[in-house]
Amino acid sequence: MNLSNQGSQEWLVKGMHCAGCAGRLEAALRAVPEVAEASVNFATSSARVFWKDGLADAFREEGNRSQRVEKIIVQEGFEVELPPLSASEELRRRAAELCEAARRWKFAVAGFAPLAVWTMGGHFWAASALAAEFPGRVFMEMAVSGAVLFGAGRSILHAGWLAAVRRAPDMNVLIGGGAVFAWFGSVAAWLAGIPAHESSYFEAAAGIVTFALFGRWLELRNRFKAGESIFALAELQPGVARVEEGTEIEEKPLAAVEAGMVIRVAPGERIPVDGEVLVGRTTVDESWVTGESAPVVRGPGQKVVGGTLNGDGALRVRVESAGGQAFLQQVLKIVREAQAGKPQIQKMADRVSGQFVLWVMFAALGTVLGWWLLGAGEHRVQTALLHGLSVFVVACPCALGLATTVAILAGTGRGAQLGILFRNGEVLETLAKVRVVAFDKTGTLTQGRLDVVEWWERKSFEGNLMGLVAAAEKESAHPVALAVVRAARQRGMRLGEASCVEAVPGIGLKAIVDGCQILVGSGLCMESAGVSLPETPAQERELRVWIAVNQEFAGWFRVADQIRAEAREVLAELKRRSVEAVLISGDNAVTAGEVAAAVGISRVFAGVRPDAKRNIVRDLQKGGLLAMVGDGVNDTPALAQADVGIAMGGGTASARQTADVTLIRDDLRSLLDAMELSKKTLRVIRENLVLAFGYNALAVPLAAGVLEVWNGWAPGPVVASAAMAVSSVSVVVNALRLRSFGRRR
């Protein structure tokens, strides 16, 4: 189902502790009548729903349907709030979660550590063994263990109880149930008069909770690291702007800044909004947008982007986009949506983790029955319960739930830092498997603008002819005029004032500059004006733009849409990777063929209309997954048809909105980065799934006591709990490797 263009809404959800929580909530949200699809992400603690189209007006009211969803989230035992408006709020929320998690596990350690020394230290220290025999031992163990279990572990017990009541057991049921069983079992054994050294598992109850809380703190910490790239981007935009109010300057929060307002930006400040410079000239660091470290000059009439860093000049800027419409906020929105999505590879993990807890319960029950019925010795009941408890706490569905989501979190976040916006997580998986890339020509393989590539003038003008022509052309918006003016300014030429400017569409332009009559145009224009041109081959004559001064031939120049400097490098690398490149262009066969030959493309479709581009893409898809790279409105149908549509950052809004991936730095090398990042993210996901499945496949039999049959060793509940915590952290740490993608190249 393609939901990219449907209305959606996102909430932050507190209280999710494992993939089972996310799966249970996701199923509940999908049952809401107004919801077409729901995606709950454990790694980002978020829930996103896509609204159905064609609903009754009552259902389509934002408040009504939003309240329905929020009510479902609360009924499932979670806390809900709308996403924070600023990065600082989000950072404070995450920091508070980390502090609370740290406080809980430190409290648990304060109880468990001395309890562990007290009860288990006798194996190593004689003094500890003597101390453990004093008469009040059981009361002390019961009190300390109870404080850890019912104090620090309160959130686990509460969440586990809610999950059990809703008949949707999750990780909290395993951890909380195991710890409660160990504690109350020890109390019951003491009341029955069984000696403490044979029946007391108070330290196991405290250890299970302690290691579970420590694992969750590490997990939260590393998940925060995986997503810190998105926070780094969000922090680029200031929270306030200084707005002109008549003759006064008032500092306003960005939420109150609207298009049309005029703001002031001091030297060294970050520009808070997208806008146009009215007054002032400065250099601006636009590296997060363009990837170029060198600052660019910005002056009156030029655009600036919110989040970029102003240099040493003061600016007055007219606001064009602010709030949610600003470029940086649009980038953040796309990245958040991508991180909330799920690729196809996660479906298998979701199906497994959805039933995982029930399987573990059956495995634990089978372990108890097996050791009870088949075990030997007078302590076989205690042994059976001990192994069953170990199975209960060693299994870890969290690792399965995090395997995919945390990798997508890290991959899409790193992509945003590199100027690559993935529309959703599924795109990462698809792009990694693409074997054919189709390119548009203009604006994709070429610069998308005309530049002066040849210039010839008679010696009598001594290098001044370009300045005269540029002066005549500087008020024109024609692409040829823009090319000449740009070339003249790059050469530092003075542009005089033109008068009597007269343009003849499709033929040429004439004006008076510095007392000279300037005529610029085609050969037909010159013939009409009676200007004699030198003998030139017909084909070459048509490619040149001719110049006459005071009715005499003065020179000529030629313009062309130049091939991007990086295009040959990118196409060569695609060939090295065994990815076929195809050119699909609306231009004529000669021009398209020249560009294709220059960059190394052998398969060319020329003279293609927009609707035909889509048909060609559809035919090419029969040979495998295909990506289409384009930048214009005419590329939109093909971008939508492709398995992965990729838009150049300098392209039209319609192309960017349709595409699955946007290269905001407008550099074809970003295509290679996007493909490589998608492959590495998919590789990390697969590694994480192997880690998660492998851990559980190995840990459950060991906890059940398989090795005890041969050598008498079994991990026990405390070791099992520690191993469970390590398993979740391992997949997160593995995903963190994606944060360094591209830094060493």
DSSP states along 67-97: HHHHHHHHHTT-EEEPPPSSHHHHHHHHHHH
Of all helices (H) and strands (E), which one includes residue 733? helix 716-735
CA dihedral 132→133→135→141, nearest 10 degrees, is 30
d(CA 176, CA 160): 6
Q: For the chain, report the end-to-end CA distance as a whole number of angstroms.
A: 38
Report the C-alpha gap between 508 and 502 in whole angstroms: 9
Residues 160, 141: Cα–Cα separation, whole Å: 24
Q: How many CB atoms are located within 10 Å of the residue 235 CB?
A: 17
Per residue, the 3-state secondary structure of 35-71, as one string, reads EEEEEEECCCCEEEEEECCCCCHHHHCHHHHHHHHHH
Distance CA 637, CA 610 (A): 7
Q: How many CA atoms lie within 13 A of 642 on its CB side?
A: 31
Annotation marks residue 53 as catalytic: no
Residue 735: count of CB within 10 angstroms of its CB: 29
**671 in Cβ contact with 646 (< 8 Å):** yes
- The side-by-side arrangement of strands in the sheet containing 248-253 is 248-253, 240-245, 262-265, 315-321, 274-279, 303-304
- Asked if residue 630 lies in contact with residue 644, where contact means CB atoms within 8 angstroms, the answer is no
Distance CA 361, CA 463 (A): 87
For residue 200, give the nearest of 117, 120, 123, 128 by alpha carbon: 120
**Which amino acid would we find at residue 260?**
G
Cβ neighbours of residue 413 closer than 8 Å, sequence gap 6 or more: 226, 227, 228, 229, 230, 335, 339, 739
CB atoms within 10 A of CB 483: 22
Nearest to 644 by CA among 632, 666, 627: 627
Whole-number Å distance between alpha carbons of 536 and 533? 8
Report the sign of the C-alpha dihedral through residues 76, 80, 82, 85, in that order: negative
578's tokens:
């065994």
The H-assigned helical ranges of 491-604 are 523-529, 538-543, 567-576, 589-599
Looking at 170, 440, 631, 635, which residue is catalytic?
A: 440
State the chain's maximal CA–CA distance in angstroms. Answer: 121
C-alpha atoms less than 13 angstroms from C-alpha of 318 in its C-beta half-sphere: 11
**Active site residues per annotation:** 440
